[in-house]
Chain A
Amino acid sequence: MNSLRGKTAVAGLGYAGLGSAPGWSPIELGAAAAERALADAGLSIDDVDGLCASTFYHFFPTTSFAEQLRIRPRWTNADMTGGSTFMAHIQQASLAIEAGLCETVLIIYGSNARSSRDIYGLIDLTPLQVAYQPLLPVGAYAMAAARHMHQYGTTREQMAEVAVASRLWARGNPDAALRDPITVADVLSSPMVCDPLSRLDCCLVSDGGAAIVLTSAERARDLRQPPVYVLGSASATWHRDISTMEDLTVTAAVQSGREAFAMAGLAPKDVDVVQLYDAFTILPILFLEDLGFCSKGEGGPYVENGGIAPGGRLPVNTGGGGLSFVHPGMFGLFAIMEACIQLRRQGGERQAGAPDVALAHGNGGYFSHQSTNIFGTAVTLR
């Protein structure tokens, strides 16, 4: 299980058009982000020989991006698992680099979810679910939240703490969309969307492009930025529809987390900073449990009293997450980027100390696919 540990590294990061970018297509936004990521790494587009991409809007995301960038990649991959896609791309691109199929991979994303008012794109919703108009995805997560409350006594106040913490972190992120502090009472009194989730329990709908450069560890050491090494990466696919999720309080993060930690040779106690997919406030609570940061049912108490806010027991979603920073349809790549920013110690006002190990966890579909990445600084390779 340690075959990929330390073999590849994130060498460059870029994003573009975050928030609102009317008149820009997802491909244009992603390509603008790619130029910034390459500049960040000190690389040229001619160095790129691999490409990973997925969007809500394209059957052919990698060919569309390759054409926009005018490159002829030797290896491409458009695995589509929802918001967790990009964590899976990290593993797939690492495999390709390790196998010698390519050396430098751009992982790109772009979305105009806000401007186009289209959060579904090409999504193939299941007919037997659509007929009941369940208001996906929020309806699915609302039922998971209701079940967690029923089984473990989790409260709306505890879920609200996740939103409150995200705002406190976002205050230190100049690129975050929502930077004004909120209170638990604000979350509880915001309009209900799908009980028990209110508007402030739900993520942003943004425009934006993002891109990262992944390359061999050897090459990354000669580039402009401190390498962020991939220590562990694993994914798990358990279902598609919320009706076929075996237990609404247990996600496939149990599996992806266990396998990513095994590859990294690390345990939750070794992680300094955590990025958890937070499309809705219940998600980080479930992932803290399933990834092993606390036991099942203890996620609510764990986030209480600022548990994951600045100065709390664990720095979680230090950029403000999908709740307060940005959420252009899929958040995965932004969670990865924040993990890298923290390990590069470039978080500015939101920098969470001097971390050496970061975890970025992605969620896709309706808890359908989970993917966990563990990253480390150079000291973790010694």
Chain B
Amino acid sequence: MSVSLKGPGPVAQYLKYLSEGRFMLQRSSETGELLYYPRSFARGAPSAGLEWVEMSGLGTVYSFTTVRRKPEHGGDYNISLVELVEGPRMLTRVLGMDPNAVSIGLKVRARIEKPAWDPKAEQPLVVFYPA
């Protein structure tokens, strides 16, 4: 069976959960596979079996970069690929530390926050802090 079309689509539902303060991803009830980003198609099992489960928020930095930006434009910032202990990898930011001190393998913990770098943004996102 294909995914249910009732309610918001997968990305909209993911963002809705974040607005409620919950970091949820889809998991196939049959294969156990966790999906990031959220999708309308599961592999190896009917997509109707995708269910939302809460992440622990724990992960490690798989890779990262420091985006160099002039101080008057906000200064340098981190962009990372964080691998969740549950498996999926996501593009995000590591905050709460000097971006130049971030390293591959660093253990991090998720928080759900409105992006401080975009004052107009209302949608909370998953960001990470040193664990």
Contact = CB atoms under 8 A, between A and B. Distances in A.
Given A126-B37, A135-B79, A144 B63 contact: yes
A146 B37 contact: no
A123 interface: no
Interface size class of B (residues with CB under 8 A): 20 to 34
B64 interface: yes
A131 B36 contact: no
Contacts of A192: 66, 68
Interface stretch (B26-34, B41-49, B52-60, B84-92): B84-92
Interface of A: 126-129, 131-135, 139, 142-144, 146-147, 150, 191-197, 241-244, 248
B104 A146 contact: yes
A142 to B, nearest CB: 4
A135 B67 contact: yes
Contacts of A191: 68
Contact of A143 (B11, B65, B68): B65
A193 B67 CA distance: 6
A147 B63 contact: yes
A132 B62 contact: no
Which 9 pairs between the two chains have the least Cβ-Cβ distance? A142-B65, A143-B63, A243-B91, A147-B63, A195-B66, A194-B65, A134-B79, A150-B104, A192-B68
A378 to B, nearest CB: 46
Contacts of B77: 133
B117 A133 contact: yes
Given A193-B68, A195-B65, A243-B81, A132 B93 contact: yes
Contacts of B110: none
Nearest to B74: A133
Contact of A241 (B11, B64, B91, B104): B91
